[in-house]
Amino acid sequence: MSHLKTIFVISGIILALIVYSKISISSETNELTICENGFFRLDEMSDCHPLLNCKHVQNVTLLSHLGQGAVKDVFLAKWHFVYIALLKLRNNLFKEDFNHNLLMLKSLGKSRFIPTLVGYCEKKNIVLTQYYPYGNALNFPFILQKLSSFDSNICFKFCVSFLKVINFLHNSPNGVRVMCDSNSLEKLLSQFLITSDLNLVANDLDALPVVRGDGIKCGHREIKGNFVAPEQLWPFPEKHFNDSEMPFYNEKVDIWKIPDVCNWFLSFCNTSEQLKKEINIIHFKCKSRDAKLRPTASEVLRLYKKIAVTFKIDNFIVDD
């Protein structure tokens, strides 16, 4: 699993705001320009281009080191006139995780909830993706500070955007995917990048196991802490942890974490008490200790949208 640190700095936020002011922002409701398999298109490009390969990597210029984790290093790079992110395997012990990230980008990358795959060179253990100047979701409060003005509903918008990504992963064309690299609020928020039109995309795809049969387990080590779902904790306190005896679980572990994420976003806006009250009704269900009693991501998203209609919140929340 990747353990990327927070890589965004204030100067980067200022750069992102400059970029944001110069590019044309399309509504979330508009369809993406979908390229054929093996092609990509970024915002700055008018046409689809074949995925970059090992030969093209030679023409990619590294500009700065953005961050690193157990699995990979992340660099800001430039290909011709386009800024991109270059991911480089850091430790061969985690090559399987690195390759899993590439597999997810290939198979899910046509979605607006996943970073655009720009290219890769498996021989050099390099992956190229779209670059997001705003960085990860931990930068949300800093972005609000730098914006000259913003609608107070933007915090709830990010709750909805987060739910849309989770809902996509739980209903992906490649099966039900669970965000395993999320044992703390900070770690989970770092797994999401902020787009130029202020939405979220899932970033670190190294650990997205698919739910089959009895379920999944996030790794083979004991998980501790108050943030994770109860079923992720070792249930036999009188015995030492033994992975072979650890029960399996499913995507409902992601549902347990929804209230913590949404409340974090809401804490940066003057959200009305009545709106919070309506949201808390849903969040109470998400925190059911019995995973079977928790709603699905689709159900939570539907209720969020219902709240948006009730409180006449901007229709960018309601539309898909």
Chain segment 234-255, per-residue pLDDT in tens:
999 999 999 999 999 999 999 9
Q: What is the mean pLDDT of residues 121-150?
A: 92
d(CA 271, CA 308): 13
Same fold, 10-130 and 137-310: yes
Q: What is the mean pLDDT of residues 65-78?
A: 92
Residues 137-159: pLDDT tens digits? 999 999 999 887 777 789 999 99
Pick the CATH number of 137-310 from 1.10.510.10, 3.30.43.10, 1.20.1250.20, 1.20.1630.10: 1.10.510.10
Tokens of residue 255, six digits: 């549902």
pLDDT given at position 318: 55
d(CA 89, CA 166): 26
pTM for the model stands at: 0.88
pLDDT band, very low/low/confident/very high, at 319 (cuts 50, 70, 90): low
d(CA 201, CA 108): 12
CATH class given for the domain over 10-130: mainly alpha
Domain borders along the chain are: 10-130, 137-310
**Among 24-28, 142-146, 173-177, which stretch is predicted with the lowest mean pLDDT?**
24-28
Asked if 143 contacts 13 with a C-beta cutoff of 8 angstroms, the reply is yes
